[in-house]
Structure 1
Amino acid sequence: MDKRNIQLKNVLEKLYAKYNCRELIAPDPLQFLYRYSDPPDMEIAALVAAALAYGRVAQIEKSVTELLKFMGKSPFEFVVKFDKSKANVLKKFKHRFTTGQSIADLLAILKIVLAQYGGIEK
């Protein structure tokens, strides 16, 4: 690595060390995964937040909070036990043009992925 790249790397590492902390994460949608300590719950929360991370920040936060609250203390368990035939419980959910039906479809597909692979990462 040449001298200029080393200097750039050092500057970027210092910035990363300074700003990479939970206190500064809001309003990034990643803030929602830190509500959970279990990695599978964090993974589901991150996916939900990413799926709704468009539009005004205040609306994103409101919608993600609403959906995660609905999913209860374990988003992973919620998805594993999700029954699409009872998706009407999500019918009132709306985030811009994402409807409760869209979320139900996402959760149904995610349930299949979790059953087959045990997680999203694989």
Structure 2
Amino acid sequence: MTATELKEFLDFKVDQYNNPDFISSDPVQIPHLFSLKEDKEISGFLTATIAWGNRKSILKNAHSLMELMGNTPFDFVMEHSEQDMEALENFVHRTFNSTDLIYFIQALQNIYKHHNGLEGIFTKHSNERGLQLAIHEFKKIFFELPHQSRTQKHVSDPLKNSAAKRINMFLRWMVRRDAGNVDFGLWEDISPSLLSCPLDVHSGNVARKLGLLKRKQNDAKALLELDTALRKMDAEDPVKYDFALFGLGVFEKY
């Protein structure tokens, strides 16, 4: 397949999957439940945080988490009582447990009270090379309150060679302007050209089969390699190809 043929094939697959039908089977459905910007941000961040493992389990637990927060995540983060936090004590998704969740709520409150919200942090620390440094700075701010060390593993750091799949997926949701009405485009001061592909086992395997990626590990070096290839096909909206790679891997078993 020539470079032109590959781009045409992937553009076709983007059109096939980047549409509202995609939402019903994807974790992005959770922030779609809300209309308030901050509700979309917080529900999206928490959902992306637990977005690994069985997809049915991810969706079930994400919906359960929203119910525990009274389906008003921003209000819960900012105004929760001690009794409200006790209601979270039985929550668990794989290795993400109530200890982690309770700290996440506290950290989010700190971010919205003292750091101009999630958008403010990423906008302040983004640069022309991408959002990987911003993710690193975000993690430092997120864990500036007292916390158990175990909780840190739930926010990845690209500067420690992580592909940071879940947080890059969250950033795609918030930043990318999407004619297919899947992503939100809420953060208008960050260009979609700076986004990185949410690299996971599915998108990585498909990218290797298509010759977009040679590195075997799904790490930060592989992400840079894949991002470089995708930006050659569309410099303004490179992560639209996440829909193609993910769809080919998950839905078509490519």
Quickly name the TM-score band, shorter chain normalised. Answer: 0.7 to 0.9
Percent pairwise identity: 27
Choose from 6, 13, 16 the match for 1:15: 13
Output aligned runs, 1:51-90, within 5 Å. Answer: 51-83=49-81, 85-86=82-83, 87-90=85-88
> Is the 1:82–1:111 contact (alpha carbons within 8 Å) kept by the matching residues of 2?
no
Question: Which deviates more from structure 2 when the two are superposed, residues 88-97 or residues 101-110?
Answer: 88-97
> Is residue 2:119 matched to residue 1:116?
no
- Aligned residue for 1:107? 105
Aligned length in residues: 118
List, as ranges, runs of 4+ consecutive aligned residues in structure 1 with deviation greater than 4 Å.
Answer: 4-11
d(CA) in 2 for partners of 1:53 and 1:18? 23
**Structure 1 residues 4-53: Cα deviation after superposition (integer angstroms, max 9, x where no partner):** 66665454444323321222224321121111122211111111111111
TM-score, structure 2 length as denominator? 0.42
d(CA) in 2 for partners of 1:70 and 1:48? 13
d(CA) in 1 for partners of 2:69 and 2:80? 10
- Aligned residue for 2:29? 31
In structure 2, give the amino acid aligned to 1:68.
M
d(CA) in 2 for partners of 1:58 and 1:117? 34
d(CA) in 2 for partners of 1:18 and 1:10? 12
Gaps of at least 5 residues in structure 1 are none
What SS is found at the alignment partner of 2:52? coil
> Is the 2:47–2:62 contact (alpha carbons within 8 Å) kept by the matching residues of 1?
yes
What's the CA shift for 1:107?
A: 0.7
The structure with the largest helix share of the pair is: 1
> Is the 1:93–1:99 contact (alpha carbons within 8 Å) kept by the matching residues of 2?
yes
